[in-house]
């Protein structure tokens, strides 16, 4: 199923991602492209190796999330303090990674500064509910490299980013752990109103009906 306007990317995705991998199981994550498909590529991510820098970005994420809550000022301070403690532990132990990319995320012709907070040890499993936001998370950052400031959360869950013919897309698996049925969905990110707002519209859906059991 696809929007007619996005037929080229949908047909290419089906051929060079889904059919290329010949999956007996759903492509939950780690969806490699056919290397002969010249129109596909992925953004480059730079790992923040300096742990003190990673802490600052982690704290910026927590500050952004708690600022959107409806708690009192004192409750926010308490929650923020504990979130920062958990974040530092996760980064210190290598359970999560902070990565920065510079690319046009919302296809408005201007490069964005994007942060990916990646779960380093997350295992792909058909029994996981990937519609829940426990995978990699993406955030738009202030364009000033000297600032550790999150201006908007982009996505939650196990999304990947890729380019097709120079245009940015997201893809993700949405499935039911009970029936083991689901779909791969490709999304088109687009700028809305101001530079920090983004619409993420589904443009392709590839349904999966299992005929084999997971080992």
Residue entry with tokens 């499993």: 125
Smallest Cα–Cα separation from 151: which of 117, 195, 88, 190? 195
Contact status, residue 154 vs residue 141, Cβ threshold 8 Å: no
Separation between Cα atoms, residue 202 and residue 186, nearest integer Å: 6
Widest Cα–Cα separation across the chain: 56
Both tokens of 24, joined, read: 């007996």
Separation between Cα atoms, residue 73 and residue 94, nearest integer Å: 31
Residues of the chain short of pLDDT 70, as ranges, are 1, 23-25, 120-135, 156-158, 177-180, 191-198, 210-215
Query: What pLDDT is stored for residue 211 in this prediction?
Result: 57
Both tokens of 102, joined, read: 């510079």
Query: What pLDDT is stored for residue 133 in this prediction?
Result: 47
Q: What angle do CA 22, 8, 211 make, to 5 degrees?
A: 25
Domain spans of the chain, in order of start: 4-25+42-208
Burial of 142 (0-12, 13-18, 19+ CB in 10 A): middle
Contact status, residue 99 vs residue 42, Cβ threshold 8 Å: no
Separation between Cα atoms, residue 195 and residue 44, nearest integer Å: 22
- Give the torsion through C-alpha atoms of 15, 19, 21, 22, to 10 deg: -170
């Amino acid at each position: 199923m696809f929007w007619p306007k996005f037929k080229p990317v949908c047909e290419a995705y089906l051929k060079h991602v889904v059919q290329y991998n010949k999956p007996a199981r759903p492509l939950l994550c780690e969806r490699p492209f056919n290397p002969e498909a010249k129109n596909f590529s992925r953004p480059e991510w730079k790992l923040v190796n300096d742990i003190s820098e990673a802490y600052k970005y982690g704290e910026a994420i927590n500050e952004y999330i708690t600022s959107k809550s409806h708690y009192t000022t004192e409750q926010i301070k308490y929650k923020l303090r504990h979130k920062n403690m958990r974040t530092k532990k996760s980064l210190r132990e290598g359970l999560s990674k902070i990565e920065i990319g510079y690319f046009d995320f919302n296809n408005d012709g201007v490069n964005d500064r994007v942060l990916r907070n990646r779960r380093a040890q997350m295992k792909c499993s058909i029994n996981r509910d990937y519609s829940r936001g426990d995978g990699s998370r993406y955030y738009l950052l202030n364009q000033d490299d000297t600032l550790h400031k999150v201006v908007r959360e982009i996505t939650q869950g196990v999304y990947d980013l890729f380019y097709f013919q120079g245009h940015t897309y997201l893809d993700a698996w949405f499935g039911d752990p009970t029936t083991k049925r689901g779909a791969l969905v490709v999304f088109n990110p687009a700028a809305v109103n101001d530079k920090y707002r983004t619409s993420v519209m589904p443009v392709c859906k590839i349904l999966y009906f299992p005929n084999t059991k997971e080992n």
